[in-house]
A and B are shown apart, each in its own frame.
Chain A
Amino acid sequence: MAVLVSTTINGDNVEFACEPNESLLDVLRNRLGLSGAKEGCGTGDCGACSVQVDGRVVCSCLVLGVEAEGREIETVEGLAHGTELHPLQTKFLEHAALQCGVCTPGFLMAAKALLEKNPDPTEEEIRFGLAGNLCRCTGYDKIVRAVQDAAKVMRG
């Protein structure tokens, strides 16, 4: 039987009903029309579904929709403020840090969480911080450079 859940998504109060066994990813994509997070594996191995829950980056395919109760969820759709892109978004574009782009929402959310914890990471810290996100197109070179550049901008 469906459960009623109250949560905050990208700053908005949201209520939804979902099955107890339904993943947060399925809720976002199928019930709330937020299809920025992608299902690449459904087993927490690829990171394409990464979102932040109370500031912590998680694979939303491994979180239940009901666990969103009372939490603050952030998805790629909430990354830009109006028409102003987040520095990570700007730098991913400028560095061509995406080819097919399907892993990009997950990378952006993982990189955001990384830089919130560590505003001045070394290359190695970036590489390990993003090791939970798979990209098959880029070889990661331009992704790492984009994150380095965004970190610089964000430090001011």
Chain B
Amino acid sequence: MASESTTAHPFEDAPNHVTPTVIHDPILTKTDFKRVGTRPLRPDGLDKVTGRARYGADFNMPGQLVGLVLRSPHAHAKIKKIDTSKAEKLAGVKAVITFADMPDHTGGDQSMYDILENCMARGVAKYDGHAVAAVAAVDAATARAALKLIKVDYEVLKHVTDVDEAVKPGAPLVNPKNITEGVEPKPTKPSNIAKRTEFGHGDVDAGFKEADVIVTRSFRTEQTHQGYIEPHACVASVSPDGTGELWVCTQGHFVYRNHCAMLLGMDVSKLRVTSSEIGGGFGGKTHVWAEPVALALSRKANRPVKLTMTRDEVFRASGPTSATSIDVKIGAKKDGTIVAADATLRFTCGPYYGMWAELGAMTAFACYDLKNVRTVGYEVLVNRPKTAAYRAPSAPMAAFAVESVMDELAHKIGMNEVDFRIKNAAKQGTRASYGPVYGPIGIGATLEAAKKHPHMKAPLGKNQGRGMACGFWFNFGGQTCTDINIGPDGSVTLTVGTVDVGGSRASLALCVAEELGVPYEQVKCLVADTGTLGHNDMTDGSRGTFSSSMAGIFAARNAVTVLRERAAKMWEIPVDDVKWEDGHAKAVGSKYGNLAPLSIKEIAAAAGNTGGPIAGHSEIVADGAGVSFATHIADVEVDPETGRSKIVRYTVIQDAGKAVHPTYVEGQYQGGAAQGIGWALNEEYIYGKDGRLQNPGFLDYRIPVCSDLPMIDTQILEIPNPNHPYGVRGVGETSIVPPLAAIANAMSNAFGVRMTHVPMSPPRVLKALEAAKNG
């Protein structure tokens, strides 16, 4: 399915993430590198250690107002009336808006309508934190006072926040019009199941009949937040002539532009969006929330409006990932061959349709070569914030369930857990459980590396256990547009449209320097605003470095063509007699023996006389993002008195295809692992019976701090992706997938206790230990 830039989807352009792309002609052209693989300083680093870098909240426009949002205190309530008259009369208030100020321009596009309704409730508040009105005032104090003067008349409705409660017959309906998709015949009654999806091949029932051992388990994982340190922030300015500007922290300013323009009824070309430096996103900044509201406020006030979410708002109204309930059944023969695998996955979506269980169902068994496999996903509507992508969305929960059962099964048939996985690992030519046939992949190599890793043989201390688990992520390519401009001094500007979330400007400059044959320092990589380049998809799906380096390399090749033409002109020889080598044009053939090579600088200096500015351009759909696999090893120490767990040693082994800047690849591995560790041990949304979120802050929603973690060892494997000129695969997401199961398996190995509920927080661990003690 093609991705339409204006199509809103819970996981932007998600169909592309999951449609296998068949590449008939591998384009891998380079395996020996001079610059790629080195570790230079990042070009944006200095600004970031001196406080100069400008993030979402660090930008101001002349005459700007402060915007604030009024949010529902109820999990589910009919909005009978909103009286804004007193707020409007308060001195210093310049605009008050409700849904009436955000008319529906979505033209029947249900997913965009859902986004519109999520940005501003239309008649019904569907979760604690759902926006119901907003104000713009001359300062924050006035805006806060105005919010208190808005009177909302609610009729509280029955709510449901729990995934298993929501699928029970008779559960309160989150959307009374919801009829389950993907079920034949079509149900006649509404329910909280938005969609059913199924993947797999073979005959699962027949497969289980061949099994010597079968393990069946049910699991639950709680909802987590991406937890980026920078809250959402933007400055919006809409003029009466219908043009607008938006400064915003986002993972994809082109997509934000397209969505905001549609929701506001503006022409895409008239809204210019600039991405700020981004203070973390992890999928959570791929969706618009406050931005359309800020634009609507600015349009009404005819002044720029700055809107910054508080941390409380970030937790209550943005993010989070799904809460899940998963059943897994795997059967194997005594020799370790898996004969059948089956999983049913229920994932919360918040109040709106999503494809989160679908992604879970696709990824669940992706690591293995299975004859008979089936996964069924159910998208479950609940009165919680709309689910957003979170790093390898849905894969960690599915892997937690599957990898836990894999360990249990290995032990039941008396096999080492690594050997059991090696025996069943997917390889080149395997038909994946979600459909495609794999090309060259790294799951087997990461497992073999884990087996040989010194970590596996290191002694364990008292109350310590060791566990391992595998993880998979699709990776994504997507629409990408890149420019290269050669300056009059021969320096190179690389202009990309993918937001740099963690060092990609360095990686992209390395690739272009490699291709042009110039020093890294000679290439300056910029992230352009939406007025400067064609559409670029988000930095999601681990695509930033993969796709923009591919487009950058192609743009560099186009620039080299121009450079050769110009050199030919300067020498007055045929262009076919000019080659490009080591950053220089060289005349080929003995007849040109006395022509000294021309540098980029010399060619650029003459550009005015040879045809004008020298540039290279590339616009592509970066197909062929190679799938990604990892194996993790975790040592966990559990205090049997308190149930508190501590990670004492951790190792990440992952295939990078080609690590362009190995230090930042390591950083992705470490960061993903740390988020997975937080998820495994502490992080969860806690809802009260009233449907309100009880821990919307970093004190009570506890992400790992420095003293919670050990050093995180990394091992980068390089199994080149044949569909990228340098063999690159995305590396950003897979490392969050294995930790939940690796840690659960470590606890099981230490205490014989199988943890089936994440997070494995001290009370849950203590309960499990006591239950085990009491038989």
Of residues 244 through 287 on chain B, the ones whose CB sits less than 8 Å from some CB of chain A are 277-282
Instruction: Out of A108, A123, A134, A142, name the residue touching B705 (CB < 8 Å).
Output: A134
Interface size on A, as a range, is 35 or more
Cα separation A60 to B139 with both chains bound (whole Å): 20
> Contacts A136-B229, A136-B282: A98 and B45 contacting too (C-beta < 8 A)?
yes
Is the Cβ of A38 less than 8 Å from the Cβ of B57? yes
User: Which B-chain residue is minimally distant from A137 (CB atoms)?
Assistant: B671
Q: Is B228 an interface residue (CB 8 A)?
A: yes
What B residues does A93 contact at CB under 8 A?
41-42, 45-46, 49
Is the Cβ of B698 less than 8 Å from the Cβ of A41? yes
Is the Cβ of B706 less than 8 Å from the Cβ of A100? no
Q: Mark A113-155, 1 if CB is under 8 A from B, else 0.
A: 0000000000110111011111111111111110000000000
What A residues does B44 contact at CB under 8 A?
101
Is the Cβ of A94 less than 8 Å from the Cβ of B49? no
What A residues does B668 contact at CB under 8 A?
99
Is the Cβ of B502 less than 8 Å from the Cβ of A100? yes
The interface residues of chain B, by DSSP majority, are classed as loop
Of residues 23 through 54 on chain B, the ones whose CB sits less than 8 Å from some CB of chain A are 39, 41-42, 44-46, 48-54
Greatest chain A CB density within 10 A among B50, B231, B311, B664 is at B50
Is the Cβ of A102 less than 8 Å from the Cβ of B230? yes
User: Which A-chain residue is minimally distant from B735 (CB atoms)?
Assistant: A139
What B residues does A73 contact at CB under 8 A?
none
Q: Is B670 an interface residue (CB 8 A)?
A: yes
What B residues does A102 contact at CB under 8 A?
55, 229-230, 277, 279-280
Q: Is B377 an interface residue (CB 8 A)?
A: no
Q: Output the least CB separation between A124 and chain B (Å).
A: 8
Is the Cβ of B699 less than 8 Å from the Cβ of A43? yes
Comparing B560-568, B707-715, B761-769, the segment that makes contact with chain A is B707-715
What A residues does B673 contact at CB under 8 A?
139
In the complex, number of A-B residue pairs with CB atoms less than 8 Å apart: 177
Cα separation A92 to B638 with both chains bound (whole Å): 33
Q: Output the least CB separation between A47 and chain B (Å).
A: 9
Cα separation A94 to B310 with both chains bound (whole Å): 33
Cα separation A119 to B671 with both chains bound (whole Å): 27
Of residues 4 through 37 on chain A, the ones whose CB sits less than 8 Å from some CB of chain B are 19, 29, 34-37
Is the Cβ of B54 less than 8 Å from the Cβ of A142? no
User: Which B-chain residue is minimally distant from A147 (CB atoms)?
Assistant: B706
Is the Cβ of B707 less than 8 Å from the Cβ of A131? yes
Cα separation A107 to B54 with both chains bound (whole Å): 17
Cα separation A148 to B501 with both chains bound (whole Å): 25
Q: Is B503 an interface residue (CB 8 A)?
A: yes
What A residues does B712 contact at CB under 8 A?
139, 141
Q: Is B67 an interface residue (CB 8 A)?
A: no
What A residues does B41 contact at CB under 8 A?
93-94
Cα separation A2 to B648 with both chains bound (whole Å): 52
Q: Output the least CB separation between B140 and chain A (Å).
A: 8
Is the Cβ of A99 less than 8 Å from the Cβ of B667? yes
Q: Is B703 an interface residue (CB 8 A)?
A: yes
Greatest chain A CB density within 10 A among B42, B664, B670, B705 is at B705
Is the Cβ of B501 less than 8 Å from the Cβ of A99? yes
Q: Output the least CB separation between A133 and chain B (Å).
A: 7
What B residues does A57 contact at CB under 8 A?
none
Q: Output the least CB separation between B359 and chain A (Å).
A: 22
What A residues does B308 contact at CB under 8 A?
39
Is the Cβ of A100 less than 8 Å from the Cβ of B280? yes
> Contacts A103-B229, A136-B227: A35 and B671 contacting too (C-beta < 8 A)?
no
Q: Is A45 an interface residue (CB 8 A)?
A: yes
What A residues does B697 contact at CB under 8 A?
41, 43, 45
Q: Output the least CB separation between A75 and chain B (Å).
A: 7
Is the Cβ of A101 less than 8 Å from the Cβ of B50? no
Is the Cβ of B51 less than 8 Å from the Cβ of A144? no
Q: Is A46 an interface residue (CB 8 A)?
A: yes
Q: Is A76 an interface residue (CB 8 A)?
A: yes
> Contacts A35-B58, A43-B697, A104-B48: A141 and B229 contacting too (C-beta < 8 A)?
no
Q: Output the least CB separation between A9 and chain B (Å).
A: 13
Q: Output the least CB separation between A110 and chain B (Å).
A: 10
Is the Cβ of B501 less than 8 Å from the Cβ of A89? no
5 pairs, A vs B, C-beta closer than 8 Å: A29-B58, A79-B49, A89-B50, A99-B501, A141-B712
